[in-house]
Amino acid sequence: MDRTSTPNSYIASERSLPGQESDHTSAKELMENGSRSKLLEDPFVKKVWDLIMGESLFKKSSAELASLRESLRRESLQFFTRHSPYYVDLFERLDIDPAKATMHDIAKLAIPSDMLRGEGQKRFLIQDVEEGGETFSSSGTTGKDPVRVYRSPVDLAIMLKANTDLFEHVYGDVLKEGEGVALFMAAPELRYKLSFVAFVDLTLDKKGIELLYGMDLEDKSQAGTPWQKLTTNKENLLKFLKSKKEPKLFFTAPAGVHILGQKFETMGVGKKIAYKLASGAPPIKLGKGGIIVTGGGSKGFADLPEYPQLVSNAQKHFVSKDADGKQIDTPFMDVLGMTETLTALIDRYGVTDKVPHPLAEAFLLDPLTFEPIEEEGKEGILGIFNPFTTSWLEVFYPGDIMTYHSSKGFYGKEFVYKRRLSVKEGWDLQRACGGTLEEMMTKQ
């Protein structure tokens, strides 16, 4: 395949919208498609695949993982020079020797996510990128083309396994096959558009956990343009509330949990009793291992309280139990993902700040010099390098300001979200998945 034919093929491979069952790719199919990838003949891709699919990386020490990431960093850059003359030229111009690449070199290669709008990813795709994958988009609500990122079959399989592993690690338990039920305050149509939705959908599918979508797109006839108003799917919401399955997993943008809590607070006594009789809530009992998972933290688009306050408010209306059946404050996890990253950063509120996948490089750049920050606690621009992404060199900065601190966990450090850069600061991309869902939920 020559380079010029690549963009057409990747656009053509964007899936048609769900509802057409024949087009629905299950997690199983997705894993099988990835395992059949020709790219696995490349030693680097094979190595990455084996690492992701093999024994738990979370058992390794942070030093071992850091060393592994260093070798992957160099092998990844060498892989791209083998698969695209574009990268040979780019590294030469940037004076980067792939075999000796440092984090400073990675920092030099990081691009603003803004550059991935429209056909922006095209130039970065390897020559032999495989068809049959999926293209995810950002909202595009700023009046510009949305960010669009193509994921090849092997990338999708890696995405699914890596994110599931990270999720379970931060969750503190494995999701048992076929156990429990999940409610996602999103519409099923978004599965093929928003990476957060895709990640949740596929992870639960892989585990055989029932997923209920708690929202509907208001106008399905415009399903190709998902940036519409979301309305509550009362039937699914009720089904979730009444379900006796455990654990109950509640996935939502922060606005979802906030709106639900507000609804309970403003309910009259009579209505509250009637609702309780019909659904058993409030409070919403999430059972053993029950958890609320938010997407992307609050970006403040819906006039939401700060995240700690939001958690505190919500814990009045949601209750969970620990493994011994003792009632506890409902745990919260937050997933910071974005269209352009294959794997997310996930935290567990009050327990673990945000951590990336063991093989992903999360780093902070000094806002003035764009050099990597070594100092703990200093605010920097988050950069992400995913060496296990094989379709393009996935190193970018999504426009989030964070800090880091040392940790005894697998990564050796954890990240704390501070804020998203503003438009004034030159950052047009204002909505990650969570923010987009928030906007859609609160649209008047």
Residue in 157, 158, 211 with CA at minimum distance from that of residue 185: 211
Q: Does 305 bind another protein (CB under 8 A)?
A: no
Cβ nearer to another protein, comparing 394 with 438:
394
Alpha-carbon distance 283 to 268, whole Å?
15
Q: How far is the CB of 145 from another protein (least distance, A)?
A: 10
Q: Hey, which residues between 131 and 170 contact another protein (CB under 8 A)?
A: none
Binding test (CB under 8 A) with another protein, winner from 115, 238, 267, 416: 115
Total site size for another protein, rule CB under 8 A: 22
Q: Does 110 bind another protein (CB under 8 A)?
A: yes
Alpha-carbon distance 331 to 92, whole Å?
48
Q: How far is the CB of 220 from another protein (least distance, A)?
A: 33
Q: How far is the CB of 112 from another protein (least distance, A)?
A: 4
Q: Hey, which residues between 392 and 421 contact another protein (CB under 8 A)?
A: 421
Cβ nearer to another protein, comparing 89 with 375:
89
Q: How far is the CB of 402 from another protein (least distance, A)?
A: 15
Cβ nearer to another protein, comparing 213 with 427:
427
Cβ nearer to another protein, comparing 332 with 427:
427
Q: Does 424 bind another protein (CB under 8 A)?
A: yes
Cβ nearer to another protein, comparing 121 with 233:
121
Binding test (CB under 8 A) with another protein, winner from 64, 97, 375, 425: 425
289's tokens: 């291992």
Alpha-carbon distance 366 to 373, whole Å?
6
Q: How far is the CB of 268 from another protein (least distance, A)?
A: 48
Binding test (CB under 8 A) with another protein, winner from 93, 100, 326, 408: 93
Instruction: With contacts defined by CB under 8 A, name the span among 107-115, 183-191, 216-224, 238-246 that binds another protein.
Output: 107-115
Q: Does 178 bind another protein (CB under 8 A)?
A: no
Burial of 245 (0-12, 13-18, 19+ CB in 10 A): middle
Check whether the bond before 226 is cis (ω within 30° of 0): no
What is the 3-class SS of the chain, one letter each residue?
CCHHHHHHHHHHCCCCCCCCHHHCCCHHHHHHHHHCCHHHHCHHHHHHHHHHHCCCHHHCCHHHHHHHHHHHHHHHHHHHHHHCHHHHHHHHHCCCCHHHCCHHHHHHHCEEHHHHECCCCHHHECCCCCCCCEEEECCCCCCCCCEEEEECHHHHHHHHHHHHHHHHHHHCCCCCCCCCEEEECCCHHHHHCCHHHHHHHHHHHHHCCEEEECEEECCHHHCCCCCCCEEECHHHHHHHHHCCCCCEEEEECHHHHHHHHHHHHHCCHHHHHHHHHHHCCCCEEEEECCEEEEECCCCCCCCCCCHHHHHHHHCCCEEEECCCCCEEECCEEEEECCCCCCCCEEEECCCEEEECCCCCEEEEECCCCCCECCCCCCCEEEEEEECCCCCECEEEECCEEEEEEECCCCCCEEEEEEEECCCCCCCCCCCCHHHHHHHHHHCC
Cβ nearer to another protein, comparing 113 with 390:
113
Binding test (CB under 8 A) with another protein, winner from 19, 43, 178, 426: 426
Instruction: With contacts defined by CB under 8 A, name the span among 85-93, 160-168, 174-182, 246-254 that binds another protein.
Output: 85-93
Q: How far is the CB of 213 from another protein (least distance, A)?
A: 36
Binding test (CB under 8 A) with another protein, winner from 124, 171, 213, 301: 124
Q: How far is the CB of 368 from another protein (least distance, A)?
A: 4
Q: How far is the CB of 370 from another protein (least distance, A)?
A: 5
Instruction: With contacts defined by CB under 8 A, name the span among 10-18, 87-95, 125-133, 384-392 that binds another protein.
Output: 87-95
Cβ nearer to another protein, comparing 36 with 144:
144
What are the C-alpha distances in Å from 254 to residues 132, 258, 315, 317? Answer: 33, 6, 13, 14
Q: Does 96 bind another protein (CB under 8 A)?
A: no
Q: Does 382 bind another protein (CB under 8 A)?
A: no
Q: Hey, which residues between 341 and 380 contact another protein (CB under 8 A)?
A: 367-371
Q: How far is the CB of 114 from another protein (least distance, A)?
A: 7
Binding test (CB under 8 A) with another protein, winner from 23, 32, 89, 235: 89
Q: Does 94 bind another protein (CB under 8 A)?
A: yes
Residues 6+ apart with CB under 8 A from 8: none
Q: How far is the CB of 96 from another protein (least distance, A)?
A: 11
Cβ nearer to another protein, comparing 141 with 231:
141
Q: Which residue has the tokens 């997310």?
A: 344
- Single-letter amino acid code for the residue at 221: S
Q: Which residues bind another protein (CB under 8 A)?
A: 89-90, 93-94, 110-112, 114-115, 123-124, 367-371, 381, 421, 424-427
